[in-house]
Structure 1
Amino acid sequence: MWWDLWWNRTLKHTRGHLVEIMNSRNILISNLTFRNSPFWTIHPVYSSNVVIKDMTILAPFNAPNTDGIDPDSCTNVCIEDSYIESGDDLVAIKSGWDQYGISMARPSSNIVIRRVSGTTPTCSGVGIGSEMSGGISNIRVENIHIQNSAAGIRIKTDKGRGGYIVNITITNITMDKVKVPLRFSRGANDHPDDGWYPKALPKVKDIFITNLVSFNSRKAPVLLGIEGAPFEGICMKNVSLFGLGPTVQWNCEHISGFVNGVSPSPCPLLQRNISLTCT
């Protein structure tokens, strides 16, 4: 009924998270199956020392905003050994929304996501943002398998967000039938109210992507930074995208970085060598 009311625009209240843990520490969620959440499925917020493992999360593919696991303004988090089917991101890291996230200044940091697999036909396997105004740093994503999905790895932000996304490591990723393997996007045009600050620009820097293979890709990566706040230090090594036509080109703006062993050839904004900072 949640989704019928949502699509009909007759829902008078927000939809609830299936499990939301706030202002807590030393949390273990494991060995459970969660089905049909009306909104985000597992949402730890303002918490630390959180382990979420051996989970099965299932939502209808056409159910909006049914993210699997969303650590939000949390530190020291491990998400591992889980399978997720969702109508939104499988895992999304967040830290507050526009002026509210900036004023709270509660970052998400020291988060490991590993051995997670799943499908989302409308969103991404692992998303960072778009609510990231409190800052996101020191994230490691490894040994992930994504299939039949709209995007593989996605970084989402916008003018008005402020905050930062820095020191992100993404390694040993396998994708199959993922439409856009890598998508760094801007311009969500999604704000909580009219009080957001247009001059609050996010900082995105030091994104390390290694040992990524995508089979049956349909579109080249889309890497779009923000004018006046380019995404810097995007470094890729051993990235292979199979299935793209020979004339398909990467879509890049306002980014900089280095690549080594990336095919098909990336955009010229990513120089074809690896600097010491990328290792």
Structure 2
Amino acid sequence: MESFRLLVGIQLILSVLILNESRTCIAQGLKTATTTVKCSRKHSAVLTEFGGVGDGVTSNTKAFKAAIDHLRPLASDGGAQLIVPPGKWLTGSFNLTSNFTLFLHKDAVILASQEESEYPILEPLPSYGLEKNSTGRFSSLIMGTNLTDVVITGNNGTIDGQGKPWWTKFKARELNAVRPLIIEILFSLQGLTILAPIDIPNTDGINPDSCSNTRIEDCFIVSGDDCIAIKSGFDQYGIKMGMPSEHIIIRRLTCISPDSATIALGSEMSGGIKDIRAEDVTAIDTQAALRIKTAPGRGGYIKDIFTRRFILKTMQFVFRVNEFYKTHAEGYDPTLLSDVSNINCRDMVAENVTVAAEYEVLPGNTFTVVTVLLLHDKEKVYLKGKDKIVPPFRFGVEDVATKMWFHKLAYPGQ
């Protein structure tokens, strides 16, 4: 199956929807017809069979571990499924296995424990180095490493990260490691609702990081940071790792992010980002539709980006580029510039937008064609970007109307 590592902050709430289930599956321990579920796995078990208590108070970390340990050897024989029945299931970090489905009943809520001891400390990610997580990082709530064929699904159950205490400790500088994520797995993503406080920074909805052959579909995201931020490593660590994010498809996304982007590329993109396709996207009260973020020292590339059929309402920018991000790893090479090329945006409707496009671009850096084609009718205002512009490398088109149409908005040389 197609795979990627999904990184989502622990302060989020996820509503998990049904994904391609095909037959009725009644596991031992299910008492009523209301907990009968559909599955495509040969073997099934229920969390309560392993001591799970859904009272919202009792820790179920050991129950999740015992259940998955029991199913792990069975997973290679037609796959295995763990059913989380109705209840509030408090738990710390636990690991999934290959050929596995975690199924949440519609009245099931997985509650992330607020105890640091429930999240073992992990080594820093090799593509980010010690500067990004010098003291290590807490394990994610739901973990998966080197897995294949993993599904988290259900009848609109909920995974609640209960993140407020983590942010309180973070602001008070009381955390001794990087805060945990809610899910860190290998798979494609479909049908998630992600709700994060818009006044809390760094609450990215979804971070495909050094991922390939990835689909993100039918998602609703409210975030205090980028709804989707595609990354591939940090300065020399990302360059050394050399794992790009590529062949990523984003479809039917709705985003609300007053201070950030609908889709961001970077700024940690030293391993490269290419062949990203996004379509049928709606952004409301969001800072930018598409934002490219990089800096001297990042190296790498952002290329072959294709977006179409965006509906944008109350935006500060349609398109934004910033090549002056200042956070760096110690010992980075400031002469390494990023190649940004072949960025294409078409069939976009924007209402109540302040600036069509803003470029904060390094002099002499590679930056090739950007085309923005918006749906046009007589009621919309036509604005054409300049074919040639000169430093100070900042360009904006002020809007005096409520609707705009842009055509061939290009940087110098095009």
TM-score by shorter chain over 0.5: yes
CA distance, structure 1, for counterparts of residue 182 and residue 384 of structure 2: 38
- Asked whether the 8 Å contact 2:231–2:273 carries over to 1, the reply is yes
CA distance, structure 1, for counterparts of residue 390 and residue 197 of structure 2: 33
Shift, 1:71, TM fit: 0.5
Residue 338 (structure 2) pairs with residue 202 (structure 1): yes
CA distance, structure 2, for counterparts of residue 149 and residue 114 of structure 1: 18
SS at match of 2:354: coil
Residue in 2 aligned with 1:126?
263
Residue 233 (structure 2) pairs with residue 96 (structure 1): yes
Q: 2:253 aligns with which of 97, 116, 127?
A: 116
Shift, 1:219, TM fit: 2.2
With over 3 angstroms needed to count, the CA separation of the structure-2 counterparts of 1:232 and 1:35, relative to structure 1, is farther
Give the structure with higher Rg (CA): 2
Residue 399 (structure 2) pairs with residue 263 (structure 1): no
Residue in 2 aligned with 1:179?
316
With over 3 angstroms needed to count, the CA separation of the structure-2 counterparts of 1:247 and 1:82, relative to structure 1, is closer
CA distance, structure 2, for counterparts of residue 40 and residue 56 of structure 1: 19
CA distance, structure 2, for counterparts of residue 210 and residue 40 of structure 1: 37
- Asked whether the 8 Å contact 1:34–1:58 carries over to 2, the reply is no
Which of structures 1 and 2 has the larger relative contact order (alpha carbons within 8 angstroms, sep 6+)? 2
With over 3 angstroms needed to count, the CA separation of the structure-2 counterparts of 1:233 and 1:174, relative to structure 1, is same
With over 3 angstroms needed to count, the CA separation of the structure-2 counterparts of 1:93 and 1:142, relative to structure 1, is same
Q: 1:230 aligns with which of 362, 366, 389?
A: 366
- Asked whether the 8 Å contact 2:383–2:406 carries over to 1, the reply is no
With over 3 angstroms needed to count, the CA separation of the structure-2 counterparts of 1:136 and 1:184, relative to structure 1, is same
TM-score by length of 1: 0.77
- Asked whether the 8 Å contact 1:153–1:183 carries over to 2, the reply is yes
Number of aligned residue pairs: give it: 253
Q: 1:190 aligns with which of 327, 331, 348?
A: 327
Shift, 1:265, TM fit: 6.7
Q: 2:190 aligns with which of 32, 53, 58?
A: 53
Residue in 1 aligned with 2:28?
none
Shift, 1:184, TM fit: 1.3
Residue in 2 aligned with 1:211?
347
With over 3 angstroms needed to count, the CA separation of the structure-2 counterparts of 1:233 and 1:150, relative to structure 1, is same
Give, as a single letter, the amino acid of the residue that structure 1 aligns with 2:338: P
SS at match of 1:189: coil
CA distance, structure 2, for counterparts of residue 248 and residue 138 of structure 1: 27
- Asked whether the 8 Å contact 1:219–1:248 carries over to 2, the reply is no
CA distance, structure 2, for counterparts of residue 189 and residue 106 of structure 1: 23
- Asked whether the 8 Å contact 1:224–1:252 carries over to 2, the reply is no
With over 3 angstroms needed to count, the CA separation of the structure-2 counterparts of 1:245 and 1:170, relative to structure 1, is closer
With over 3 angstroms needed to count, the CA separation of the structure-2 counterparts of 1:171 and 1:249, relative to structure 1, is closer
With over 3 angstroms needed to count, the CA separation of the structure-2 counterparts of 1:102 and 1:271, relative to structure 1, is closer
CA distance, structure 2, for counterparts of residue 18 and residue 154 of structure 1: 29
Give, as a single letter, the amino acid of the residue that structure 2 aligns with 1:225: V
Gaps of 5+ in 1: 4-11, 256-261, 273-279
Residue in 1 aligned with 2:303?
166
Shift, 1:64, TM fit: 1.3
With over 3 angstroms needed to count, the CA separation of the structure-2 counterparts of 1:20 and 1:120, relative to structure 1, is farther
With over 3 angstroms needed to count, the CA separation of the structure-2 counterparts of 1:194 and 1:120, relative to structure 1, is same
Give, as a single letter, the amino acid of the residue that structure 2 aligns with 1:235: T
- Asked whether the 8 Å contact 1:117–1:146 carries over to 2, the reply is yes
Residue in 2 aligned with 1:107?
244
SS at match of 1:216: strand
CA distance, structure 1, for counterparts of residue 226 and residue 195 of structure 2: 12
- Asked whether the 8 Å contact 1:32–1:55 carries over to 2, the reply is no
Structure number with the higher helix fraction is 2
CA distance, structure 2, for counterparts of residue 207 and residue 246 of structure 1: 21
- Asked whether the 8 Å contact 1:109–1:136 carries over to 2, the reply is yes
Residue in 2 aligned with 1:77?
214
